[in-house]
Amino acid sequence: MVKVLPLLLPVSIACICAAYTCTGSPATGADVKLASSDAEIPLAVLTATPATGAAILHVTLDAGGSTVTGGSIARYEWDFDSDGTYDYDSGAVASANFFYYTPGTYTATLRVTSSAGATATTSQDIVVSAGAGWEIQTAIAGRNITMADTFDVGGNPALVYVEKFEPSDWGEDSMRLLYRRATDDTGTSWMAEVELDRLVFLQQYTGFGLFSLNGAPAVIIGRHNVSSSGGQSYCYLTRAADDTGTAWSEPERIGHGALVGLPIDVNGRAAMIGVQTAPPPFCSYSLSTDHNGETQDKPFSYGFKNSQGWYPSLQMVGGRPAISLHMKFEVPVPNAPPLGLCYLRANDEYGRQWPGDLTEVDLTIGGGPVHPDTHSHALVVTDTGPAIAYVDVGKQELRFVRANDANGDSWGDSEVLATGAGAVVATQLDGRPVLLYLNPAQTVAYFIAANNAAGTSWGFPVAIENPEHVPHRLTVIGGNLAYCYCYSQDDGSSGVKLATLR
């Protein structure tokens, strides 16, 4: 909650809790725990640098001047907007960082606790003026665009998108996949589009992902061939011949199943995960055998404990590929949930060998169908190890859980970052995890950013322009948060908008 208060001066404020009581006497005041002697009562000192500035305002809060006679400060707690809830507990660390994204006057409150259990508080006003905001560019208009993805290519935004045609326009051709890169970092001017792939009647795209492979843009394309028996899904890789994407290779098959999540560069080789939906559903990890991604390695397929893997997320963790995924348990066992969040990390640098058992992260998730819009999650890598942002559908909570170690061998308890949450995507900005999520009604989208690289302290949810659905990806382009989404026009055509926080 934002409280509008006048700026307090000076910047550094000290507050002494002078009251005390004998052992066994009741403490007075909600925020003060009294010590048995005034020598144990702490002095809380808070300095904010800077205390004023334009959004996005990065404020360093320093409590290093806090002291206690005859003891030590054991705990520092931070309420970044003085709403009565302490947003971050830094333990014995006497500093914290916070990023204020929206204008206003905020009162940051520090509470210190001495080794004897006595507390003291002090506050500092932070004044944030108007600054960074979402800039919306219409990158493509007047077309029939059904899907789009964006990525940073050489510091400028690049788009991959699907254009659908009526049969009368292109004969048997039904869809084509196109690439386009901006000639500046703002996305106000664009190079000529390049056709990457084209489908004929009874073929359709199931998804695609734009990523960097050995420093050049690359795309993995998911195709589905429709047939009377349901059809087959396969994935293909195309790679740019240069670092900007003016020319591309012919798509080569790299894996089977429908592409899920986003592909990544695994030590110079293309890697992806596909899902086979024919019963029983299962996931497969595919890797190119060479550093140009021209040939396919034998896919690794997994299914564990009589269960099905759904909607995995793929990242590099400690130099090896790692996967988080929802598992649907098909064979009932006592007290088993219908859905669980699990994790596994390859035994080698390329992902040719994987452990036989999953690491269980959260088996308390339940309720709702197994669907990406209701059970989505994102694996991210913090400076302390892997972490997962996910939605507990039953409670409509956005949660964040961190591993207890650098490789993800064990996991801690999750924390609730927001309520009323639906699907989620994630990225990292200056090393800090950043999430974008949608509410269940799919009417308002928000982003929420961590204040540190470990993801132990988080800011407040900030509403963004409504993209109608969670974008395929939240990414960083030229050092700025960005995403793209398709939109419809009054004449029935559709296009692509690029949103950048700058």
Alpha-carbon 376 to chain mean position: 11
- C-beta neighbour count of 355 within 10 angstroms: 12
Exposed (0-12), middle (13-18) or buried (19+): which is 215, by Cβ within 10 Å?
A: exposed
pTM score of the predicted model: 0.87
Alpha-carbon 101 to chain mean position: 17
Helix (H) / strand (E) element for 169: namely helix 167-170
Structure tokens, 306: 């009589």
The answer to whether 300 and 285 have CB atoms below 8 angstroms apart is yes
DSSP secondary structure code for residue 168 in this structure: H
Question: How is the chain split into domains, by residue range?
Answer: 13-129, 202-302, 305-469
The answer to whether 387 and 381 have CB atoms below 8 angstroms apart is yes
CA distance 176 to 213: 22
74: CB partners within 8 A, 6+ apart? 92, 113, 114, 115
CA distance 436 to 461: 9
The sign of the CA dihedral 74, 80, 85, 88 is negative
In sequence order, the β-bridge partners of residue 314 are 323
Return per-residue pLDDT of the chain as tens, 502 residues: 333 333 333 333 333 333 332 223 333 333 445 555 666 789 999 999 999 999 999 999 999 999 999 889 999 999 999 999 999 999 999 999 999 999 999 999 999 999 999 999 999 999 999 999 999 999 999 999 999 999 999 999 999 999 998 765 555 668 999 999 999 999 999 999 999 999 988 889 989 999 999 999 999 999 998 877 778 888 999 999 999 999 999 999 888 888 888 999 999 999 998 887 666 667 788 888 765 554 555 555 555 444 466 678 999 999 999 999 887 655 444 455 556 888 999 999 999 888 888 898 998 775 544 444 445 789 999 999 999 999 887 788 999 999 999 999 999 999 999 998 888 999 999 999 999 998 766 678 899 999 999 999 999 999 886 666 668 899 999 999 999 999 888 888 899 999 999 9
Which CATH class name applies to 305-469?
mainly beta
Q: Span 13-129: which CATH code?
A: 2.60.40.10
